[in-house]
């Protein structure tokens, strides 16, 4: 059975050994019994440099982007000509 790490807002991180057959999005904190979200970590990061490990773990969380920050959608030009007609009138 694999280990899953969760983060409780009150108590911090904790690790549970759970079956792969159940949902792992949330778990109950063993200390305060509140709901904790799963913490995604990169595989075998214990051997890495601390700065590199932090960059990898930061990349595991999706970036939240507002609609205003997205690039403007380009208008595709519409052609009224038939490209297969090459100079015939």
pLDDT tens-digit readout, 14-40: 888 888 887 878 889 989 999 999 887
pTM over 0.85: no
Number of domains in the chain: 1
Could you tell me if residue 84 is inside a domain?
A: no
Could you tell me if residue 25 is inside a domain?
A: yes
Could you tell me if residue 80 is inside a domain?
A: no
- What domain range is 50 assigned to? 3-62
Could you tell me if residue 49 is inside a domain?
A: yes
Could you tell me if residue 86 is inside a domain?
A: no
Q: How many CB atoms lie within 10 A of CB 8?
A: 19
pLDDT at 89 over 60: no
Over residues 69-86, the mean pLDDT reads 74
Which is more confident, 64 or 48? 64
pLDDT at 13 over 60: yes
Could you tell me if residue 50 is inside a domain?
A: yes
What's the per-residue H, E or C state across 36-86? EEEECCCCCHHHCCHHHHHHHHHHCCCCCCCHHHCCCCCCCCCCCCCCCCC
For all residues of the chain together, what is the average pLDDT?
A: 80
Could you tell me if residue 30 is inside a domain?
A: yes
- Give backbone dihedrals phi and psi of 6, rounded to 5 degrees, phi first: -125, 155
């Amino acid at each position: 059975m694999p280990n899953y790490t969760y983060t409780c807002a009150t108590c911090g991180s904790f690790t549970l050994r759970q079956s792969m057959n159940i949902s792992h999005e949330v778990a109950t904190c063993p200390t305060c019994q509140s709901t904790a979200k799963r913490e995604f970590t990169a595989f075998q990061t214990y051997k890495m440099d601390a700065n590199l490990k932090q960059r990898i773990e930061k990349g595991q969380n999706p970036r939240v982007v507002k609609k205003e920050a997205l690039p403007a959608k380009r208008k595709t030009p519409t052609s009224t000509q038939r490209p297969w007609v090459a100079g015939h009138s």
